[in-house]
Amino acid sequence: MAAFPFELVSPEKLIFSGEVQQVVVPGTEGDFAVGAGHEKLISALRPGLIVVTDAAGQVSRLYVRGGFADVSGTGLTILAERAVPAAEMNDAAFDAEIKATEAEVAAATTDADRIRAAERLAQVGDARRAIAA
Amino acid sequence: MPSLKDLRNRIASVKATQKITKAMQMVAAAKLRRAQTAAEAARPYAERMNKVLANVAKGVAGNPAAPRLLTGTGNDKTHLLVVFTAERGLCGAFNSSIARLARERIIALQAEGKTVKILCVGKKGYDVLKRQFEKQIVDLIELRSVRNIGFEHADEIGRRIISMFEAGEFDVCTIFYSRFRSVIAQIPTALQMIPAEIPEAAAGAADEAPYDYEPDEAEILASLLPRNLSMQVFRALLENAASEQGARMSAMDNATRNAGEMIKKQTTTYNRTRQAMITKELIEIISGAEAL
């Protein structure tokens, strides 16, 4: 499988930069896998798991909480609000995530916001189950 | 002429001050290194975000449904100035140069008949600005208790700005902070946030294949713009933190050197006075002996 450049950045730092074979991205409209020569696409992300297959075929999983994926002619860039290796997302970390999201639901002022926050809450739960599995 | 004891006390006190300034300089140097790494680490995200934003914004250009964060309200009557300064003093001209830039802008805007609102982040800028513009200051956000600036602090300020914008409290938002160039050069900078200034990074790419958007452009832009705002605030906070430490380091370096000079001068005076007294006593003894 052909390799392509992939970058994962969070506001605090550049988390990953290098050649990969495939990345599965949790888009808001569903997961999609990005390989070399993927069509140009900008997608919003939902809380979920990024599955990275690096050039050597090693698979690593990271949890992201929202952000954007930019598939351009030159590679894939993910702007994550927060990204943590799946192995580090233990129960305590998820509880904190769920609490933060619940606070968002409570703080939402419009219906659209509330629905969006509630969706996120469900997605965080899905991600938790996916990691546990 | 001061007595020997006075001189000794004075030297001791300057030495104590010198120790303090020296310690502050070293602390600032250590903090600067950390602040600088943090500022550099945030750069890639901001760059990528600019690129994505430029791409998406091109997609909605000319669309009347484009979000107001991008296009503005169509007015420029009320200006919100967000002034980022330090929480602490003793850092040279750092705080006052940011405040001066903000003040010049406020006066210019007021001369044009615009309404000005000020949001202060950091106590020191508030102290300076409230003397002249007490009525215009909307609020003060203090980050004194924050040790390491994280994205969530910036996000909070960003959300605050956006909720004010959505409530129609202002038309144009500009932030003031100090860009870190080097330990001796920090450049006070004004940056317009709303309406967003779209970087021209992707210019000349017009003939490339268009992007697909998931969900559509407008929705992506609607969530991208607030995040971009928070990111800019985050950058301003980080650059400011690095600048502050840099300014403090050079200010304290100067202070330490001045104290050193003062000690040298005082010591010379002390030695001269002591010698003069010894000479005087000798003369008294000799003239006493001669009189016999």
3-state secondary structure A28-39: CCEEEEECCCCC
pLDDT of residue A1: 66
Give the end-to-end CA distance of chain A in Å, rounded to a whole number.
Answer: 27
* B24 or A131, higher pLDDT: B24
In this predicted model, what pLDDT tens digit does every residue of B16-28 receive, in sequence order? 999 999 999 999 9
Cα dihedral sign, B136-B140-B141-B142: positive
> By CA distance, what is A77's nearest residue in B?
B48
Judged by CB atoms closer than 8 Å, whether chains meet at A77 and B208 is answered as no
* Number of CB pairs, chain A paired with chain B, less than 8 A apart: 76
Contact B60, B225 (CB under 8 A): no
List CB contacts of B15: < 8 A, sequence separation 6 or more: B259, B263
Alpha helix (H) residue ranges in A39-109 = 91-107
Percent of chain A beyond pLDDT 90? 14
Question: Strand A4-9 relative to strand A14-27: parallel, antiparallel, unpaired?
Answer: antiparallel
Write the single-letter amino acid at B166: E
Q: Residue B104 corresponds to which tokens in the numbers above? A: 């010049």
Distances (CA, A) of B194 to A57, B61, B72, B229, B245: 45, 16, 6, 9, 29
Contact B78, B115 (CB under 8 A): yes
In this predicted model, what pLDDT tens digit does every residue of B199-209 receive, in sequence order? 654 444 444 56
- The answer to whether residue A77 neighbours chain B at the CB level (below 8 Å) is yes
Spell out which residues of chain A touch residue B210, defining contact as CB-CB under 8 Å: 40
Instruction: Kindly provide the ipTM of the predicted complex, given to two decimals.
Output: 0.76
**Which of A8-17, A120-129, B124-133 has the least mean pLDDT?**
A120-129
Measured between CA atoms, how close is B139 to chain A, in angstroms? 22
pLDDT of residue B207: 47
Active-site entry in B38, B66, B91, B98: B91
Q: With a cut of 70, list the residues of chain B below it in pLDDT.
A: 1, 61-65, 198-209
Spell out which residues of chain B touch residue A70, defining contact as CB-CB under 8 Å: 48, 51-52, 55
Q: At CA B59, angle to CA B53 and CA B63, rounded to 5? A: 115
Q: What is the pTM of this model?
A: 0.84
Q: Per-residue pLDDT averaged across A69-98, rounded?
A: 83
Of the candidates A7, A14, A42, the beta carbon closest to that of B55 is on A42
pLDDT of residue B204: 47
pLDDT of residue B28: 94
In this predicted model, what pLDDT tens digit does every residue of B127-180 receive, in sequence order? 999 999 988 899 898 888 777 788 888 988 998 998 899 888 999 999 999 999
pLDDT of residue A83: 85
Spell out which residues of chain B touch residue A8, defining contact as CB-CB under 8 Å: none
* A109 or A80, higher pLDDT: A80
Contact A56, A3 (CB under 8 A): no
CA–CA gap between residue A42 and residue B216 (Å, rounded): 9
**Which of A36-40, A95-99, B254-258 has the least mean pLDDT?**
A95-99
